[in-house]
Amino acid sequence: MPLRSRHLWWGVNLNAPDARALARFYARLLDWELTLPPDDPDGASVAPSADAGYYLGFQTEPDYQRPVWPAGPGEPQMQMHLEIEVDDLAQAVTHAVAQGATIADFQPQACVRVMIDPAGHPFCLYVVDA
């Protein structure tokens, strides 16, 4: 039996030193709705809407260590990264920086910009050639 619920709701969680601050960043970046559960001060989530079926979750981790991009020997490596397709790469980078992201020093591809969120997670903005 596949691992599915009747609601088809799924998500990815990112650890951070301050889950709610990182959730606010992604809510602004993606123009998604922010949810701050009153019974969980160490958690938050963002989704396009309450019935989207998917979300990004965030959990406060007191021992969080920022990943290094690209990581060298013995440095904390990213465990995953988000890929976000955009229509205009330059405009998307400007928007991401205005929300608090930084541009990574190492950029491996011309059609992709590796960005760093405020907690240090790399994420990619990319365009697909028409």
- pTM, to two decimals: 0.89
Its domain, for residue 92, covers 82-126
Query: Is the pLDDT at 4 greater than 60, yes or no?
Result: no
What CATH number should be reported for the domain holding residue 92?
A: 3.10.180.10
How many CB atoms neighbour CB 33 within 10 A?
14
For the chain, the 3-state helix, strand and coil shares in percent, each to the nearest 5, are 20, 30, 55
Under the banding of pLDDT at 50, 70 and 90, the label for residue 1 is very low
Tens of pLDDT, residues 48-77: 998 888 999 999 999 999 999 888 899 888
The β-bridge partners of 126 are 85, 112
Distance of CA 78 to the CA centre of its chain: 12
What CATH number should be reported for the domain holding residue 24?
A: 3.30.720
